Amino acid sequence: MADTGFCMVLTTAQGETGQKIIQALLSKDLAACVQVMPIKSHYVWQGVLREEAEDLLIIKAKVADWVEIEIEIRTAHDYDVPEILRFDVDAGAKSYLDWITAVTRPSLRGA
Protein backbone atom coordinates (compact mmCIF):
# COMPACT_ATOMS: atom_id res chain seq x y z
CA MET A 1 0.00 0.00 0.00
CA ALA A 2 1.11 3.55 -0.70
CA ASP A 3 2.22 5.91 2.03
CA THR A 4 0.68 9.27 1.19
CA GLY A 5 1.89 10.99 4.36
CA PHE A 6 -1.68 11.91 5.32
CA CYS A 7 -3.97 10.65 8.07
CA MET A 8 -7.34 11.01 9.72
CA VAL A 9 -7.44 11.23 13.50
CA LEU A 10 -10.57 10.42 15.46
CA THR A 11 -11.43 11.64 18.91
CA THR A 12 -14.65 12.11 20.86
CA ALA A 13 -15.55 14.93 23.21
CA GLN A 14 -18.45 16.56 25.00
CA GLY A 15 -19.42 20.21 25.11
CA GLU A 16 -16.79 22.89 24.82
CA THR A 17 -13.93 20.37 24.91
CA GLY A 18 -14.43 19.65 21.21
CA GLN A 19 -14.23 23.34 20.37
CA LYS A 20 -11.01 23.67 22.40
CA ILE A 21 -9.47 20.80 20.44
CA ILE A 22 -10.61 22.23 17.10
CA GLN A 23 -9.28 25.69 17.95
CA ALA A 24 -5.92 24.31 19.08
CA LEU A 25 -5.41 22.17 15.98
CA LEU A 26 -6.55 24.73 13.40
CA SER A 27 -4.83 27.72 14.99
CA LYS A 28 -1.51 25.85 15.01
CA ASP A 29 -1.95 24.63 11.42
CA LEU A 30 -1.88 20.99 12.58
CA ALA A 31 -5.14 20.11 10.81
CA ALA A 32 -6.65 21.15 7.51
CA CYS A 33 -10.21 20.28 8.48
CA VAL A 34 -12.12 18.97 11.49
CA GLN A 35 -15.55 17.51 10.92
CA VAL A 36 -17.92 17.19 13.87
CA MET A 37 -20.69 14.62 14.07
CA PRO A 38 -23.06 14.11 17.01
CA ILE A 39 -23.01 10.49 18.16
CA LYS A 40 -24.18 8.31 21.03
CA SER A 41 -21.42 6.21 22.59
CA HIS A 42 -22.00 3.00 24.55
CA TYR A 43 -19.04 1.76 26.60
CA VAL A 44 -17.87 0.32 29.90
CA TRP A 45 -15.97 2.69 32.19
CA GLN A 46 -14.73 1.59 35.59
CA GLY A 47 -17.01 -1.44 35.51
CA VAL A 48 -20.17 0.51 34.68
CA LEU A 49 -22.04 0.36 31.37
CA ARG A 50 -22.39 3.92 30.12
CA GLU A 51 -24.29 5.71 27.38
CA GLU A 52 -23.31 9.28 26.52
CA ALA A 53 -24.02 11.86 23.85
CA GLU A 54 -20.70 12.96 22.37
CA ASP A 55 -19.27 14.63 19.30
CA LEU A 56 -17.01 12.64 16.99
CA LEU A 57 -14.18 14.77 15.62
CA ILE A 58 -12.67 13.63 12.32
CA ILE A 59 -9.38 15.42 11.83
CA LYS A 60 -7.63 15.59 8.43
CA ALA A 61 -3.89 16.06 8.81
CA LYS A 62 -0.37 14.99 7.92
CA VAL A 63 1.29 11.98 9.54
CA ALA A 64 4.33 14.17 10.23
CA ASP A 65 2.21 16.17 12.70
CA TRP A 66 0.82 13.13 14.57
CA VAL A 67 2.82 13.60 17.78
CA GLU A 68 1.84 17.27 18.11
CA ILE A 69 -1.80 16.48 17.28
CA GLU A 70 -1.95 13.86 20.02
CA ILE A 71 -0.36 16.29 22.51
CA GLU A 72 -2.86 19.04 21.64
CA ILE A 73 -5.83 16.68 22.00
CA ARG A 74 -4.58 15.39 25.37
CA THR A 75 -3.91 18.93 26.60
CA ALA A 76 -7.37 20.22 25.67
CA HIS A 77 -9.29 17.09 26.67
CA ASP A 78 -11.12 16.58 29.95
CA TYR A 79 -11.40 12.76 29.72
CA ASP A 80 -9.02 10.59 31.75
CA VAL A 81 -8.58 8.29 28.73
CA PRO A 82 -9.59 10.14 25.55
CA GLU A 83 -10.09 8.26 22.31
CA ILE A 84 -7.25 9.27 19.99
CA LEU A 85 -6.92 7.03 16.94
CA ARG A 86 -4.88 7.62 13.78
CA PHE A 87 -5.81 6.08 10.44
CA ASP A 88 -3.24 6.54 7.69
CA VAL A 89 -4.58 7.42 4.26
CA ASP A 90 -3.49 4.94 1.59
CA ALA A 91 -4.88 6.99 -1.28
CA GLY A 92 -6.85 10.14 -1.93
CA ALA A 93 -7.69 12.72 -4.55
CA LYS A 94 -4.48 14.59 -5.35
CA SER A 95 -6.23 17.97 -5.27
CA TYR A 96 -7.58 17.29 -1.76
CA LEU A 97 -4.24 16.04 -0.45
CA ASP A 98 -2.53 19.06 -2.02
CA TRP A 99 -5.01 21.30 -0.17
CA ILE A 100 -4.15 19.64 3.16
CA THR A 101 -0.48 20.33 2.44
CA ALA A 102 -1.21 23.95 1.54
CA VAL A 103 -3.18 24.82 4.69
CA THR A 104 -1.12 22.97 7.30
CA ARG A 105 2.31 23.86 8.58
CA PRO A 106 5.30 22.92 6.43
CA SER A 107 6.67 19.44 7.06
CA LEU A 108 9.71 19.31 9.30
CA ARG A 109 11.04 16.26 7.45
CA GLY A 110 14.50 16.80 6.08
CA ALA A 111 15.08 19.81 8.31
| Residue span of the structural domain in which 86 resides | 6-103
109 assigned to some structural domain: no
84 assigned to some structural domain: yes
Exposed, middle or buried by CB within 10 Å (0-12, 13-18, 19+), for 5?
A: middle
108 assigned to some structural domain: no
Model pLDDT for residues 9-55, shown as the tens digit of each residue: 999 999 999 999 999 999 999 999 999 999 999 999 999 999 999 99
Tell me how many domains the chain contains: 1
1 assigned to some structural domain: no
57 assigned to some structural domain: yes
110 assigned to some structural domain: no
43 assigned to some structural domain: yes
Model pLDDT for residues 45-98, shown as the tens digit of each residue: 999 999 999 999 999 999 999 999 999 999 999 999 999 999 999 999 999 999
Q: Which helix (H) or strand (E) holds 53?
A: strand 48-62
Sign of CA dihedral 99, 104, 105, 108: negative
Instruction: CATH number of the domain at 33, please.
Output: 3.30.70.120
pLDDT at 40: 98
- Three-state SS annotation for the chain: CCCCCEEEEEEEECCHHHHHHHHHHHHCCCCCEEEEEEEEEEEEECCEEEEEEEEEEEEEEEHHHHHHHHHHHHHHCCCCCCCCEEEECCCCCHHHHHHHHHHCCCCCCCC
111 assigned to some structural domain: no
pLDDT at 64: 96
Q: Please tell me the pTM assigned to this model.
A: 0.92
| CA angle in degrees (0–180, nearest 5) for 22-28-31 | 55
